[in-house]
Amino acid sequence: MRAEPKKLLDAGRRHLKLAPSAEREILCELYTHLDDRVEELEASGLSEEEAVAAAAREFGSLTAVVGDLNEVHSGNTWPQTLLAALPHIFFSLLFALQQWSSVGWLTVIVLSVVGVVVHGWRHGRPTWFFTWLGYALIPLLAVGLIIMDRALDRGSPGAAWWLWTATAAYFGVVAALFGVIMAQILKRDWLLGSLTIMPFLAVIGWFLTAQWRDRLLPNGAGTLEGLELWIALSLLTLAGIVILFTQLRERWLRVVVLLVAGLVVLMLMTLSSGGSIGVLNIAVLGVVALVVLLGPAVMDRWVVHTRAEPWEEFLEERFHH
């Protein structure tokens, strides 16, 4: 196995936005192509160094090649697309049928989500896996919002300092865990990070909307009333956005689809209150949407794009066969 062609491909590996199995296959195919060309050039009288340099020039811009490969291999079959949209559909039905407070149904769906996430993790983390992963993380966010709701009911921070301290500590731990998970996702593609946390947009947005509309039950239990159908509609909208996202190949179109998702959900939250939540609150929801949907793109700049999955052994095995 030649070192120079492999170094060339390792330099462009960070730009591949594919599942590990597909990535290894493509890298091996590219290596084979480069290696064959290097052998041809060496046979014509060039040294190994000259042959590698000439083959690299003929190969063209590695970034452009990788970009084309990302588009070609980023498509998903319809079964995979529908699987990616299913968690949004399940939870929309839970709200539409007003069963979201049913412990039994919640337990069944949450356990199903965790089971699918484990299966997806063991089978190469395909695109549909990340939607389910987002819903698997939702309980962590929901618990934090419930604690915050209790603190808000107690009034000023001084009156419930211990509750606010617990809230801050809880969100600190969750943020650290979330950061570790997101860092691993971003090493592959920040768009998958946005797909993962897309459900957070609905959870945080509807929590804030309910607070502003004073739609919490008077017992202070944090139970929503009057918003179920709106929430169900917003989750169905996210399901449609996921279908579009997974079927599109161009990255810029996927970014546009994410922004449309934020705009539509924001409109639904505004309509649910009859426009009474105020311009400032709408602006806050807009900021939340941008942070949730485009935050991974900002975080991506801070992540060291190394790959944990080696492909050397896979390459050696391919050549020996």
Which is nearest to 10 in space by CA: 301, 299, 305, 317? Answer: 305
Q: Is the pLDDT of residue 219 over 80?
A: no
- Model confidence at 221, in pLDDT bands (50, 70, 90)? very low
Other CB atoms within a 10 A radius of the CB of residue 115 amount to: 12
Burial of 159 (0-12, 13-18, 19+ CB in 10 A): exposed
**Predicted pLDDT of residue 165:** 85
Please report the pLDDT score of residue 44 as a whole number: 84
Confidence of residue 163 (pLDDT cuts 50, 70, 90): confident
Q: Which region among 148-152, 182-186, 205-209 has the lowest average model confidence (pLDDT)? A: 148-152
Looking at residue 117, its pLDDT comes to: 93
127 — pLDDT class (breaks 50, 70, 90):
confident
Higher pLDDT among residues 314 and 228, named by residue: 228
Residue predicted with more confidence, 57 or 318? 57
pLDDT value at residue 57: 76
- 114-118, 183-187, 272-276: range with lowest mean pLDDT: 272-276
Interatomic CA distance for residues 131 and 210, integer angstroms: 25
Average pLDDT, the chain: 79
What is d(CA 234, CA 269) in angstroms, rounded to the nearest whole number? 8
Mean pLDDT for the stretch of residues 13-25 = 65
Residues 6+ apart with CB under 8 A from 204: 141, 145, 288, 292
Q: Tell me what pLDDT residue 78 has.
A: 85
What would the pLDDT profile of 257-280 be if each residue is shown by its tens digit?
A: 999 989 998 898 888 877 667 788
pLDDT, tens digit, 9 for 90 and up, residues 70-82 = 555 566 788 889 9
Higher pLDDT, 27 or 305: 27
CA distances from 138 to 91, 133, 314 (A): 11, 9, 36
Output the pLDDT for position 222: 44
Task: Pinpoint the alpha helices (H) of the chain.
Answer: 3-13, 20-43, 48-59, 62-73, 78-96, 103-122, 127-153, 161-186, 190-213, 228-247, 251-272, 279-299, 312-320
Closest residue by Cα to residue 84 from 211, 175, 191, 228: 191
pLDDT, one tens digit per residue, over 35-48 is 777 788 888 888 87
Instruction: Give per-residue burial for 199-217: e unless 16+ CB within 10 Å, then b.
Output: bbbbbbbbbbbbbbbebbe
Give the pLDDT score at 132.
95
39: burial class by Cβ within 10 Å (0-12, 13-18, 19+)? middle
Percentage of residues in the chain having pLDDT higher than 70 = 74
Nearest residue to 205 (alpha-carbon basis) of 229, 230, 225: 230
Q: Which two tokens stand for residue 41?
A: 């050039």
- pLDDT over threshold 70, residue 22: no
Q: Look up residue 186 and give its amino acid.
A: L
Dist CA 255 CA 236 (whole Å): 19
Q: 275: phi > 0 → left, psi -120 to 50 → alpha, else beta; which?
A: left
Does 4 score more than 80 pLDDT? no
Q: What is the pTM of this model?
A: 0.72
